[in-house]
Structures are given as C-alpha cells and as structure tokens.
C-alpha cells in the first residue's frame, strides 16, 4: 500500500551534505551506454566504464556506480526514483537523483519505506511513520530550494524497504545510497536487494565518510 504525503508549510532549511555536484560516474560494464554518455555530457561530469562488484566494493573510491541494466523508455519522460533512508546522510542520493532527472528530462519521485507491522505488537510503528513523513517533507523542500524544475512526487510506502527496491518498484532509474566513501565494506540489505532484483537501471551514490549531524552543513551549488 502506498500513501501519498500531503505537504504542509515548509520546515526550516535542513543542513546537508555540502558536495552539491555529483562526482565521477562509473558504469558497471564494458562500455558506457549512449543514454548515460549523453546524460554526463549534459551535466558536465566524467564517466568511465569498468567491471564493478557493486555489492562489495562499489563506491569505495568515492565514485557513484551505475548498473545500467535497462535504458530509459522513449516517448515519455523517464521516472527517476530516489529511495531515502535518512537525512543528511542521503543528501547525496537527492543530489544524484535531481541531476539525473534534470539531464534525462525525467520526473522525480522520492520514496521512504516503513513496514506495515514491526511484529506482534508493532511497537514504534507510529513513530516510524511520523519520522518517514518528516523525512519526505524535508527532502521535497530541499529539492525545491535547490531549483528542481521537474515534477516531484513524495510517497511513504508501507512495505519493507528491500521489497520496495525489488518486486514493488516502478522506476526507470533507481538512486540509492551506497557504502560510505572510502569504505570497503559490503553494501546494506536494501542496496544489495536492488543490485540483485531491481528491474531498472540502478545508481549507487557514496554516502559521506562519516555520519553527518542533522544540522550544520548546507546544500550549495
């Protein structure tokens, strides 16, 4: 079940990850697809193609990793979906998704998942729903402040996040947070599910090397 969030009055500006421009894009494969090359030329970012183990070492050097899988459709704007876990750590996900939607001529959806039940008593469920709605409200406000001109939808999806990025996903490009920059650890359960099961192209954006506080950095650029 999907619940569209009704947006209320804007909240104070959220302080975010300062790097507002996406860095190098690495395509997991032997060549850079034409649609990816065109996107990068329009946005002025560098791109390279090489085999990447997106589950264990992707984003380790601070690069964003694209698993191309499918090309965007023709005849309609591609649907770019950003799946958020938290802010400000996932600010880079918003930045990447906005860059993709802008230069691919697409729409942008921002999703956050909260399970229908947390167990027999579902302790903490209502609090998690409230936090999810607040997260989406902040994300939409930040995108608007950053000059997003394409249609934007935000939605709280009542399902486990790893389910959303797999069988339940309706997207042409999915953007998720990967491991922390400089980390050589495996990606999390949600990103791992997306690498294995997402039916569309997948972009993993490196999170900052250290967990960021909820305030103190601004989104610029």
For 159-216, the pLDDT digits (tens) are 888 888 876 688 999 999 987 665 555 677 888 889 888 999 999 988 876 555 554 4
SS3 state at 37: helix
How many CB atoms neighbour CB 158 within 10 A? 17
In 44-188, alpha helices (H): 91-104, 125-145, 161-164
State the residue range of the domain holding 34.
18-207
Is residue 218 assigned to a domain?
A: no
Give CA torsion, residues 44, 49, 53, 56, to 10 deg: -30
CA-to-CA distance for 219 and 18, rounded, in angstroms? Answer: 5
Is residue 170 assigned to a domain?
A: yes
Domain containing residue 153: CATH number = 3.40.50.12370
CA–CA distance from 76 to each of 58, 68, 105, 112, 171 (Å)?
Answer: 31, 19, 9, 25, 13
Digit-coded pLDDT (tens) for 53-103? 755 555 556 789 999 999 999 899 999 999 999 998 899 899 999 999 999
- Global pTM reads 0.82
More confident: 1 or 187: 187
Is residue 216 assigned to a domain?
A: no
**Residue 130 DSSP one-character state:** H
* Contact between 28 and 52 (Cβ < 8 Å): yes
Is residue 198 assigned to a domain?
A: yes
Is residue 215 assigned to a domain?
A: no
| pLDDT attached to residue 60 | 54
* Contact between 100 and 39 (Cβ < 8 Å): yes
Digit-coded pLDDT (tens) for 20-42? 577 889 999 999 999 999 999 99
More confident: 181 or 149: 149
CA-to-CA distance for 138 and 114, rounded, in angstroms? Answer: 17
For the chain, how many structural domains are there in total? Answer: 1
Q: Is the pLDDT of residue 132 over 90?
A: yes
Is residue 3 assigned to a domain?
A: no
Q: Is the pLDDT of residue 17 over 60?
A: no
| pLDDT attached to residue 72 | 92
Is residue 214 assigned to a domain?
A: no
Is residue 185 assigned to a domain?
A: yes
């Amino acid at each position: 079940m999907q619940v569209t969030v009704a947006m209320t009055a804007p909240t104070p500006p959220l302080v975010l990850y300062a790097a507002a421009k996406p860095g190098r894009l690495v395509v997991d494969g032997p060549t850079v697809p034409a649609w990816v090359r065109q996107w990068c030329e329009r946005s002025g970012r560098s791109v390279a193609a090489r085999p990447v183990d997106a589950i264990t070492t992707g984003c380790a050097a601070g690069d964003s990793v694209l698993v191309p899988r499918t090309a965007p459709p023709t005849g309609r704007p591609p649907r770019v979906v950003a799946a958020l876990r938290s802010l400000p750590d996932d600010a880079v996900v918003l930045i990447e998704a906005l860059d993709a939607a802008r230069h691919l001529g697409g729409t942008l959806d921002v999703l956050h998942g909260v399970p229908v039940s947390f167990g027999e008593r579902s302790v903490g469920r209502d609090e998690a729903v409230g936090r999810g709605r607040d997260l989406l409200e902040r994300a939409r406000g930040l995108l608007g402040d950053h000059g997003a001109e394409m249609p934007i939808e935000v939605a709280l999806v009542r399902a486990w996040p790893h389910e959303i990025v797999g069988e339940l996903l309706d997207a042409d490009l999915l953007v998720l947070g990967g491991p922390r920059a400089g980390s050589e650890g495996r990606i999390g359960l949600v990103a791992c599910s997306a690498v294995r099961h997402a039916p569309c192209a997948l972009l993993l954006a490196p999170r900052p090397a250290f967990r960021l506080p909820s305030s103190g950095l601004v989104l610029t650029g």
